[in-house]
């Protein structure tokens, strides 16, 4: 066993709990930095007091959740280093310098965020200075996300061919190719937009709750208005997510085919209690789209100062339709139709909610806030659950850094080739398996295969496109039948 086990919950779910908790809070914090800055600038330019007040109250909430998220991140690191010591030790060395910068960014962010909130009332004569401090939070948060996405992408696509770990380095503790791995860019774009969208929907949800708790007409007007602004921001950032989602899927298909097909076919850990988490996530996303179309249709008929351009709202709907069609073509058209039905059901429910609340969007705000939270949870889970376990998938990973060898090199620049790499002795057959099979799937798929019909399996693989000569196929078949290691 490569890790400690926790009875009852299991080590995997301990990490899952910390990870999902962290995603829910950290994603919101990143999005809120952007929203607060936008609100404060908008309020200043138009001299609208209520938006400034909304920005300030959001920033108070932001300070609270940032602290919770940071403490949770420490818990995640503790859990990883205790439950999966070999894995964490190696990944920490592989990304030593980026993680040190990450830690420094935590310090910068905690301080800047605290200053920004607590100096709000002291700087009414220097409002631009205060706004600049708030705007600085955006690149700080972006950089923090940028670095952690390097690790996140590496867990999914650890090199430029699945099954390979990048080891292109001159400085131990930083690996350029591992950081900028194939799924890095798409993960970056997807998370950047989704975080802002998620934070906006959650803020609208908070306004919805406050709307239920007050009878004061002025307060109701305030929360309705601020919820609307948060909703606009959230929905505007919905625009590019399906486009990025499409290209993200494409990268996964090419570079992490097992994760891609696990998602498409609902295999392995994607299923929880028989429920396909990825389908459920998209079901909820389609519901958000349906609700939002109704909301914007209704907004156009009311007397609000401005709304999102119609062309933008319908473009978002069109992009989602195209995305679901593409996914329907890859998987099954049932997926497309289910999403279509989800959007329609949700639109009808939203119509009812708006009507029964006399056009107040309070119930809709809460509904969208809850759904966006669930989509982030389900998306975060499905992403990690789709890929094969990192510890098991890269068979030679233990040989990359041997703990007693790495410490002398940690602080000194070393050239490629200076680091001793212990090479496993491999047979010709094992090398063939390593070279050819990982083009499409990881080695643990072969290791976990229980039947003995290797003749059939190899033939099928050749039909699927594996490049093997007759002799090579024979060699591999005999080798696998004999149950020898690879």
Partner 1 sequence: MNHENTDGKSTDTDKTDVLINTTVSDYDTEGLAIKEEGLREGKIFPGLDADYPLRDPSEDPRWAVRTVKIWMWITIFCIVGILVLMILGIWYD
Binding site for partner 1 (CB under 8 A): 43-44, 47-50, 52-53, 56, 97, 101, 104-105, 108, 111-112, 115, 119, 121-127, 129-130, 132-133, 136, 139-140, 143, 168-171, 174-176, 216, 218-219, 221-222
Q: Which residues contact 14 (CB under 8 A, 6 or more apart)?
A: 6, 79, 83
Closer CB to partner 1, 133 or 199, in the complex: 133
The span from the CA of 111 to the CA of 114, in Å, is 5
Q: Which residues contact 340 (CB under 8 A, 6 or more apart)?
A: 286, 324
- Closest distance between partner 1 and the C-beta of residue 8, in Å? 42
- Classify 448 as helix, strand or coil: coil
- Closest distance between partner 1 and the C-beta of residue 436, in Å? 30
Closer CB to partner 1, 107 or 464, in the complex: 107
Whether the CB-CB separation of 190 and 241 falls below 8 Å is answered with yes
The span from the CA of 335 to the CA of 326, in Å, is 10
- Closest distance between partner 1 and the C-beta of residue 125, in Å? 4
- Identify the burial level of 164 via C-beta atoms within 10 angstroms of its C-beta, where 0-12 means exposed, 13-18 middle and 19 or more buried: middle
- Closest distance between partner 1 and the C-beta of residue 36, in Å? 15
Closest residue by Cα to residue 173 from 406, 422, 418, 423: 406
Closer CB to partner 1, 14 or 179, in the complex: 179
Buried b (16+ CB within 10 A) or exposed e, 362-395: bbbbbbbbebbbbbbbbbbbbbbbbbbbbeebbb
Closer CB to partner 1, 219 or 481, in the complex: 219
Closer CB to partner 1, 143 or 280, in the complex: 143
Closer CB to partner 1, 47 or 423, in the complex: 47
- Classify 261 as helix, strand or coil: helix
Phi, psi values for residue 347, rounded to 5°: -65, -40
- Closest distance between partner 1 and the C-beta of residue 410, in Å? 16
The span from the CA of 429 to the CA of 425, in Å, is 12
Closer CB to partner 1, 128 or 355, in the complex: 128
Beta strand ranges found along 281-419 (DSSP E)? none
Half-sphere exposure of 21 (CA within 13 A, CB side): 17
The span from the CA of 14 to the CA of 16, in Å, is 5
Whether the CB-CB separation of 180 and 131 falls below 8 Å is answered with no
Closer CB to partner 1, 18 or 206, in the complex: 206
Closer CB to partner 1, 175 or 472, in the complex: 175
- Closest distance between partner 1 and the C-beta of residue 111, in Å? 7
């Amino acid at each position: 066993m490569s890790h400690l086990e926790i009875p009852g919950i299991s080590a995997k779910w301990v990490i899952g709990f910390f990870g999902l908790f962290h995603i829910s809070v950290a994603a919101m914090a990143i999005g809120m930095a952007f929203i607060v800055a936008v609100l404060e600038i908008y309020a200043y330019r138009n001299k609208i007091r209520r938006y400034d007040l909304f920005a300030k109250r959001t920033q108070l909430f932001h300070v609270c959740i940032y602290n919770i998220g940071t403490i949770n991140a420490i818990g995640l690191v503790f859990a990883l280093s205790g439950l999966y010591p070999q894995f964490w030790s190696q990944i920490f060395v592989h990304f030593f310098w980026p993680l040190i910068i990450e830690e420094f960014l935590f310090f910068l962010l905690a301080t800047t965020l605290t200053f920004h909130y607590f100096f709000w009332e002291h700087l009414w004569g220097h409002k631009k200075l205060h706004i600049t401090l708030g705007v600085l939070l955006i690149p700080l948060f972006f950089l923090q996300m940028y670095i952690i996405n390097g690790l996140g992408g590496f867990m999914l696509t650890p090199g430029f061919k699945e099954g390979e770990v990048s080891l292109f380095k001159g400085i131990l503790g930083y690996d350029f190719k591992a950081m900028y791995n194939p799924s890095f860019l798409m993960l970056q774009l997807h998370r950047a937009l989704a975080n802002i969208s998620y934070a906006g929907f959650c803020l609208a949800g908070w306004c919805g709750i406050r709307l239920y708790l007050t009878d004061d007409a002025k307060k109701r007007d305030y929360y309705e208005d601020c919820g609307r602004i948060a909703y606009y921001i959230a929905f505007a950032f919905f625009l590019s997510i399906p486009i990025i989602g499409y290209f993200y899927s494409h990268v996964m298909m090419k570079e992490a085919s097992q994760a891609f097909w696990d998602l498409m076919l609902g295999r392995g850990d994607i299923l929880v209690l028989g429920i396909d988490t990825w389908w459920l996530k998209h079901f909820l996303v389609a519901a958000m789209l349906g609700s939002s179309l109704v909301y914007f249709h209704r907004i156009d008929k009311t007397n609000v100062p401005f709304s999102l351009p119609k062309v933008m709202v319908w473009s978002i709907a069109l992009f989602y339709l195209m995305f679901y069609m593409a996914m329907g073509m890859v998987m099954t058209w049932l997926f497309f139709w289910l999403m279509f039905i989800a959007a329609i059901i949700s639109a009808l429910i939203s119509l009812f909610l708006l009507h029964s609340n006399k056009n107040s969007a309070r119930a809709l705000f809460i509904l969208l806030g809850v759904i966006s939270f669930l989509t982030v949870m389900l998306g975060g889970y499905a992403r990690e659950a789709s890929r094969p376990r990192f510890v098991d998938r890269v068979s030679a990973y233990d040989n990359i850094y041997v703990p007693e060898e790495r410490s002398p090199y940690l602080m000194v620049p070393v050239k490629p080739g200076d680091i001793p790499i212990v090479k496993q002795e491999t047979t010709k057959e094992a090398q063939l398996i390593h070279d050819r099979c990982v083009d499409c799937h990881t080695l643990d798929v072969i290791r976990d295969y229980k039947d003995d019909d290797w003749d059939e399996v190899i033939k099928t693989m050749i039909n699927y496109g594996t490049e093997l000569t007759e002799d090579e196929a024979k060699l591999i078949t005999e080798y696998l039948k004999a149950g020898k290691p690879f």
